Every structure is written in structure tokens, then in C-alpha cells.
Amino acid sequence: MDHRTESRIADVILYGSVAAMLVFFYIPILTLVAFSFTDSRFLSFPIEDFSLRWYGALFENRDFLPALGNSALVAAVSTLLSTILGTAAALAWMRFRFRFQRVFQAVTFAPLLFPQLLLGVVMLLWFSVLGNWLDFSPGLVTVILGHGVYIIPFTLVIVAVQIHGFDDTLEDAARDAGATRWQVFREITLPLLWPGIVSAAVFAFLLSWGNFYISYSLSGTARTLPTFVFSGIAVGSSPIYPALATLTFVPALLLVVAADGFRRHAAKRNRMVLHTEEN
């Protein structure tokens, strides 16, 4: 077998595997989107009549909008908290050497080793004991803290990857030119790390938005979208849930595309700045 034939076989296997993966991933999503437009009360295939009635039924559900607002609040605050702390932890991890650094790294990644359900139960027990002491009950605040514990390691890793490819000689040059530490961070470090920080924030938002186990364990009487769906499908399926999935999937996809476009634009701008400085 000559080299050209081996190369073609490798290409067929590679592209075939990618195509099979995409089909396996997107066929259920496209099927779910199609089910959201059915006119029938029951989810059956093929779809006989198409309608938007279930989108209207979704917004008429009295629990939907409060759950949507709670999910948006939890995701926004969790994203802000996780991105700030994850970025700070990534800078400490990648830039500094200190005592007990290995312990810090192990503690940082510990939440990734726990299944979400177990992590949610452990934090529920902890908040229950703490709530008895301080007289508070589980709610959106505990959900935000729980999401932060789970998401911070992800944002740390994403920002750390960006820091790993960072050329710190630019910071040295700025300091040699008389810039203060804050000026170096604001004018050099932050703009070059910004694509990684934005990617981490988008990832954190999506993780928080769709999280069920921790939200279910720590939300108390408050509802988020995942717990709203769970409480509904527990009593029977309905096309309002494919409609909800469609309404959340499309904005999430647009958010990912926009974040990738921003990352490409920022990377291109940074390369232009570096090229200008070298010249």
C-alpha cells in the first residue's frame, strides 16, 4: 500500500469519525427542535401538523418566567464571581511560587473530582449546618455559591492556558519604561489575557445556566429552569419542554459563536500590536 492510499484511508477515517460524531450529537437536538413545533399534545414521529402553540403555552405557564429570571440571575452572578476568582487564581498559580502551592492546586481542583450530585449533597449538608447557626435557609444565594465552587476550577484552567502562552517580556519592557505595576496589568496583561477571560466567562455562564444537580440540591423553594423542567417532566412529557430547549439552545449557540468571534478578533489585534512593537 503506497503512501497516497494510506493518506486517503486516514482522511476517510478521520473525517468519517468527525461526521459521525456531529450526526450523533446534533440529530437529537434537531429532533427536539422539530418536536417544539408539533401541534400534538404527545411527542410522536413523524410530525403531522406544525404549530407555535407550545411556545405560547410555555410563556403562559406561571412558573416559567420566575424560573427564567432566577436562572439568569444565578448564571450572571456566578459567572462574575467565577471569572474574577478563577482569573486571580490562575495568575497566582502560573505567575508566582509560594509555600503550599501544591496544596493550593489540589484544593482548587478538588470540586472537579466530585460528581455534581455528590457535590450538591455535600454542600447542602454544609449549608444546612451553617444555616442553623446563622438562621438562613437554602435559596438563590446558596445556589450561586454552589455554582461558584463548581465552576471556578473550569475558569481557572481556561485562563491558565491563556497565561501559559503569554509573552511576559512585554511586561518587563513596560516596567523598564517606568510603568507601575497597575499600569502594566491594565495596559499589557489584561488586554492580552482578555480572550481567555471572555472564553472562561462564556463557559461559566453556560455551565451555571444548565446546571441541575447543584441547583436542585441548594435552591430550596426557589426554581431555576433546570428544576422547572424536572418538576414538569416528573408528571409527564409535554411539547413545552422541547420549546424551552429550543429557546435556550439558540441563544447559547449564538453566545458561543459571538465569543469565538471576539476571541479571534482580539487575537488578531494582539498579533498586530506585537508586530508593530517589534518593528
Name all domains of the chain by residue range, CATH numbers in brackets: 53-278 (1.10.3720.10)
Average pLDDT over residues 85-96: 85
131-140, 241-250, 255-264: which range is least confident on average? 255-264
Count CA within 13 A, CB hemisphere, residue 186: 5
Q: What is the 3-state secondary structure (H, E, C) of 3-68?
A: HHHHHHHHHHHHHHHHHHHHHHHHHHHHHHHHHCCECCCCCCCCCCCECCHHHHHHHHCCCHHHHH
| 50 beta partners | 38
pLDDT of residue 205: 92
Q: Which residues pair with 38 in a beta bridge?
A: 50
Answer whether residue 116 shows pLDDT above 80. yes
SS3 220: coil
For 232-261, what is the mean pLDDT? 77
Grid cell in block for residue 167: 509573552
Look at 226 and 276; give whichever has higher pLDDT: 226
Confidence class of residue 74 from pLDDT cuts 50, 70 and 90?
very high
Q: Is 120 exposed, middle or buried, given 0-12, 13-18 or 19+ CB atoms closer than 10 A?
A: buried
Q: Which residues contact 45 (CB under 8 A, 6 or more apart)?
A: 31
pLDDT averaged over the chain? Answer: 81
pLDDT for position 91: 85
The whole-number pLDDT of residue 204 equals: 92
Grid cell in block for residue 207: 455551565
